[in-house]
Amino acid sequence: MRLIRDIDEFTEARPPGAAGSWTAIIPAAGRGSRLNCTGPKILYPVLGKPMLEWLITLLEPLCGDLVFVLSPEAPELVGPLLQARLGSRARTVIQPQPTGMADAIAVCEGFVKTPYTLVLWGDQITPRGRSLAACMTFLESTSSLHAAIPTMIRDAPYIHFKRDDRERIVDVFQARESAQKMAQGESDCGAFCFRTEALFQVLRQARGSPLHKGARTNENNFLSLIPLFHDDQGALATVRLHDAEETLGINTAEDAQEAGRILKRRQNE
């Protein structure tokens, strides 16, 4: 089975009702210190709207339920907007301490009732719906897959997935955990699609393991768990993208300005 397929191979629209099989988890407990945020990072404005609005616009057509992982002080500020936009489709979960993305996702286990889960970082608002939909379709249509993720070959990647000769991801380079830099690599775009059972099984399996602690941050990393989705029962597949704009994470004011330019241009397409 091919584990890497091109985005252009996926041309069909999502079938009616497909969103009901999916829950989105949005880890968004960050405080945005590099953005000089006065509140939750997810409320930082891009093109006149909080990042939260852009995330909802992207995910609402694709997933029936949306679970937002927030810091303890955030629900009071974020909750009214979620209620207005999503009503009962939105849930909030508290991550008491910023101990890593693996922990942020793990606290959602009791809130996901659907067979599939889409994870999207709360500061990644430029992936295209088409790219997420392709991964969802790839996963649903292939019973031997545990997960499907969009990636792209790009210069100076923040993340790089290392593969073996069978296209399986066997290791993950993370720039923030390393003193080294890479000239080119295969990067994620902050989005990941899973069979729900496989996702939380891997999280339980890795809980407490020092192998997945960040060398510099000491956080419980999620990306380092990606190779564990290859096992005797299944594998992790990839949809290869071509647009580096979909890999942009917002950490600085300059990143936010760039995201605004990207989204404005798309509005005019």
Write down the pTM of the prediction: 0.95
Cβ atoms 152, 240 nearer than 8 A? yes
Residues in Cβ contact with 243 at an 8 Å cutoff, skipping those fewer than 6 apart: 128, 152
Residue 196 clears pLDDT 80, i.e. is over it: yes
Average per-residue pLDDT for the chain: 94
Residue 176: what pLDDT? Answer: 66
d(CA 112, CA 118): 11
Residue 178 clears pLDDT 70, i.e. is over it: no
Residue 188 clears pLDDT 90, i.e. is over it: yes
Query: Which superfamily is assigned to 4-9+17-261 in CATH?
Result: Spore Coat Polysaccharide Biosynthesis Protein SpsA; Chain A (3.90.550.10)
* Tokens standing for residue 242: 């071509």
Residue whose entry in the numeric block shows the structure tokens 């330019």 = 261
Residue 208: what pLDDT? Answer: 81
d(CA 40, CA 92): 14
Looking at residue 146, its amino acid is H
What would the mean pLDDT of 239-252 be, rounded to a whole number? Answer: 95
Per-domain boundaries in the chain: 4-9+17-261
Residues in Cβ contact with 143 at an 8 Å cutoff, skipping those fewer than 6 apart: none
Residue 31 clears pLDDT 80, i.e. is over it: yes
Residue 225 clears pLDDT 90, i.e. is over it: yes
